[in-house]
Amino acid sequence: MASSLRFILFFSLLFISSSLAQTSFRPKALVLPVSKDPSTLQYITHLNQRTPLVSVNLTLDLGGESLWVDCESKGYVTSTFLPARCRSAQCNLAGSTACATATNTFGLFPENTVTRTSTYGDLGSDVVSIQSTNGKNPGQVVSELDFLLVCTSPFLLEGLANGVQGMAGLGRSRISLLSQFSASFSFPRKFGLCLTSGRNANGAVFFGDGPYVLLPGVDASSLLTYTPLFINPEVGGVASTDYFIGVKSVKVNEKIVPINAKLLSINNTDGYGGTKISTVNPYTVLETSIYSAVVDAFANELNATRVASVAPFGACFSSKGIVSTRGGPAVPPIDLVLQNENVYWRMFGVNSMVYVSDDVLCLGFVDGGVNPRTSIVIGGHQIEDILLQFDLASSRLGFTSSLLFRQTTCANFNFTSNA
Ligand SMILES: *[C@@H]1O[C@H](CO)[C@@H](O)[C@H](O)[C@H]1NC(C)=O
Ligand SMILES: *[C@@H]1O[C@H](CO)[C@@H](O)[C@H](O)[C@H]1NC(C)=O
Ligand SMILES: *[C@@H]1O[C@H](CO)[C@@H](O)[C@H](O)[C@H]1NC(C)=O
Ligand SMILES: *[C@@H]1O[C@H](CO)[C@@H](O)[C@H](O)[C@H]1NC(C)=O
């Protein structure tokens, strides 16, 4: 691994001068704020990078391979970018072989996973700086001097939120934010994801282990239930960088929904089927037959008048008579049953329903059509205000129930620094 250039720096507010001090300070964990863009429903984070440092807004991509940024439209001003040379250790790390011989620069094909477009980009490294945390507050800012990123063209930004300059991938690859931060700072390969829907509010990504403390003092990492994570081998031997879990059945109001079980497992020959989690899908997407079965079961169990559908949803109801509770509208719970009957991910109204107006509530799932690559894609609305912990070392996902039942939310990390 290209570790010779990796140092940990910190900017101490105690020093009046702007000099950088090299230190043996080793952070326990790192934290990034994540907000939700109301028009695209994308989750946006910002990283400070380059020399001098600039703040760059990025669409968060849970399954994304890399950090990629548009280096052309506003220019890429830095004194510390180093292109990855062909046959260098960095190229090995990125695991591809696209070498532009004219420039002796190594390239990749980063993907905009919102629009599913991809184009060539140069691999290189630059400074990235990020806040460390003790799990309760942000601490010293630490820097990684040779963070690998892909420099590409503004064309790839189409479909992303206004002001965003790229995407921040947290996926299963050796050059994702997760992998680079855990390698540089010797963390376990784990991160916590806690998303909020609140306007002007920040959820968080925590790199490294818990505690992940939310005001008024709830350590969400102590509330986790675990289920195995699976690797989708996909086609051609290139494994997917997405995170898959093993849903065995779906229940509505504790009653099993009839589903073709074949759709729920990953076909190791062609990579189709299975269940993954995504931050670039605002709502959960279900293969058509699963969608119809879940909608029918839900409409059956919910004692409310069905009204005309409001796109993109296919099942909407009058909100009259549906009471509001701490866990959102009181509707039948939807369970994703996991490795056994006793382990299930239960979705309450706050995560299953979407208010499209004061009078109309829709089941916040969308129809993914016939024969989609992945049968169930759990989307953003369904993972808000719960903590997910992706633990690659143990190949498991930790998940909590809605934090609203614990009198807190993902917007409650205290981003106020102690300094
Ligand atoms: C980046 O996001 C922040 C906070 O959401 C916002 O204030 C800022 O204007 C954004 N930057 C750009 C270039 O859009
Ligand atoms: C898996 O995919 C292959 C190739 O598409 C197909 O021939 C096979 O029937 C599938 N297996 C199952 C169990 O569906
Ligand atoms: C459904 O509504 C009807 C009429 O309001 C009521 O009699 C019945 O008990 C309700 N059923 C459930 C399961 O809430
Ligand atoms: C957040 O942390 C700061 C710094 O430790 C502290 O001064 C402040 O009281 C905390 N805020 C709350 C609401 O606890």
Per-residue pLDDT at 24: 67
CB neighbour burial string for 88-111, b if at least 16 within 10 angstroms, e if fewer: bebbebbebebbeeeeebbbbebb
Q: Over 50: is that where the pLDDT of 9 sits?
A: no
Q: Over 50: is that where the pLDDT of 4 sits?
A: no
E-assigned strands of 14-91?
Answer: 21-22, 29-36, 43-49, 54-61, 67-70, 82-83
- Find the mean pLDDT for residues 45-70: 97
Q: Over 50: is that where the pLDDT of 1 sits?
A: no
Q: Over 50: is that where the pLDDT of 8 sits?
A: no
φ, ψ for residue 185, nearest 5 deg? -110, 10
Per-residue pLDDT at 234: 80
Parallel, antiparallel or unpaired: strands 67-70 and 255-256: unpaired
C-alpha dihedral, 77 to 80 to 84 to 89, nearest 10°: -160
Q: pLDDT tens digits for 176-212?
A: 999 999 999 999 999 999 999 988 999 999 999 999 9
User: Shortest CA distance to 150 belongs to which of 208, 90, 194?
Assistant: 90
Residue type, 169: G
Q: Which helix (H) or strand (E) holds 178?
A: helix 177-185
The 3-state DSSP class for residue 300 equals: helix
Per-residue pLDDT at 106: 80
CA of 330 to the centre of ligand 3 (A): 13
Which atom of ligand 4 approaches the CA of 414 most closely? 1
- Ligand 4: residue whose CA is nearest its atom 7: 418
CA of 404 to the centre of ligand 1 (A): 28
Q: pLDDT tens digits for 85-130?
A: 877 877 777 776 677 777 777 888 999 999 999 998 999 999 999 9
Q: Which ligand is nearest to the CA of 44?
A: 1
Question: pLDDT class for 131, splitting at 50, 70, 90?
Answer: very high
Q: pLDDT tens digits for 135-146?
A: 999 999 999 999
Which atom of ligand 1 approaches the CA of 165 most closely? 13
Per-residue pLDDT at 85: 83
Q: How far apart are CA 314 and CA 322, in angstroms?
A: 19
Q: Over 60: is that where the pLDDT of 310 sits?
A: yes
CA of 55 to the centre of ligand 1 (A): 9
Q: Quick check: CB of 240 below 6 Å from ligand 1? A: no
- The tokens describing 199, both together, are 């306007």
Look up residue 85 and give its DSSP letter. Answer: B
Q: Over 50: is that where the pLDDT of 6 sits?
A: no
Q: Which ligand is nearest to the CA of 268?
A: 2
φ, ψ for residue 148, nearest 5 deg? -80, 130
Contact between 365 and 299 under an 8 Å Cβ cutoff? The reply is no
Q: Quick check: CB of 158 below 6 Å from ligand 2? A: no
Q: Which ligand is nearest to the CA of 263?
A: 2
Q: Quick check: CB of 269 below 6 Å from ligand 2? A: yes
Q: What count of other Cβ atoms lies within 10 Å of the Cβ of residue 1?
A: 12
E-assigned strands of 157-304?
Answer: 166-169, 190-194, 203-207, 213-214, 218-219, 225-230, 243-245, 249-252, 255-256, 275-277, 284-286
Degrees to nearest 5, angle at CA 133 with 397 and 54:
105
Which atom of ligand 2 approaches the CA of 265 most closely? 13
The 3-state DSSP class for residue 177 equals: helix
Question: pLDDT class for 21, splitting at 50, 70, 90?
Answer: very low
Q: Quick check: CB of 414 below 6 Å from ligand 4? A: yes
Q: How far apart are CA 381 and CA 291, in angstroms?
A: 17
Question: pLDDT class for 230, splitting at 50, 70, 90?
Answer: very high
Q: pLDDT tens digits for 246-286?
A: 999 999 999 999 999 999 999 999 999 999 999 999 999 99
CA of 163 to the centre of ligand 1 (A): 6
Per DSSP, helices labelled H in 47-170 are 89-94
DSSP codes, 133-176: E-SSSEEEEEEEEEEEEEEE-GGGGTTSPTT--EEEE-SSSTTS
- Find the mean pLDDT for residues 319-345: 96
Q: Quick check: CB of 270 below 6 Å from ligand 2? A: yes
Q: Which ligand is nearest to the CA of 47?
A: 1
- The tokens describing 10, both together, are 């910190």
The 3-state DSSP class for residue 302 equals: coil
Q: Over 80: is that where the pLDDT of 60 sits?
A: yes
Q: How far apart are CA 65 and CA 86, in angstroms?
A: 20
CA of 270 to the centre of ligand 2 (A): 7
Q: pLDDT tens digits for 150-171?
A: 999 999 999 999 999 999 999 9
Q: How far apart are CA 304 and CA 325, in angstroms?
A: 16
Which atom of ligand 2 approaches the CA of 273 most closely? 14
- Ligand 4: residue whose CA is nearest its atom 8: 416
Per-residue pLDDT at 320: 94
Question: pLDDT class for 17, splitting at 50, 70, 90?
Answer: very low
Instruction: List, in order of start, the domains of the chain with CATH numbers.
Output: 30-209 (2.40.70.10), 225-399 (2.40.70.10)
Per-residue pLDDT at 99: 75
% helix, strand, coil for the chain, step of 5:
15, 35, 50
Degrees to nearest 5, angle at CA 61 with 195 and 190:
70
Q: How far apart are CA 39 and CA 373, in angstroms?
A: 27
Degrees to nearest 5, angle at CA 31 with 23 and 277:
140
203: which strand partners? Answer: 34
**Ligand 1 pocket, mutate which of 55, 57, 60, 196 (most atoms under 8 A from CB):** 57
CA of 262 to the centre of ligand 4 (A): 50
Chain-wide mean pLDDT for the chain?
91
- Ligand 2: residue whose CA is nearest its atom 12: 267
Residue type, 80: T
Per-residue pLDDT at 241: 95
Q: Which ligand is nearest to the CA of 414?
A: 4
CA of 263 to the centre of ligand 2 (A): 11
Per-residue pLDDT at 295: 98
Q: Cβ-count burial of 59 within 10 angstroms (0-12 exposed, 13-18 middle, 19+ buried)?
A: buried
Q: Over 60: is that where the pLDDT of 147 sits?
A: yes
Q: How far apart are CA 212 and CA 199, in angstroms?
A: 22
Q: Over 70: is that where the pLDDT of 18 sits?
A: no
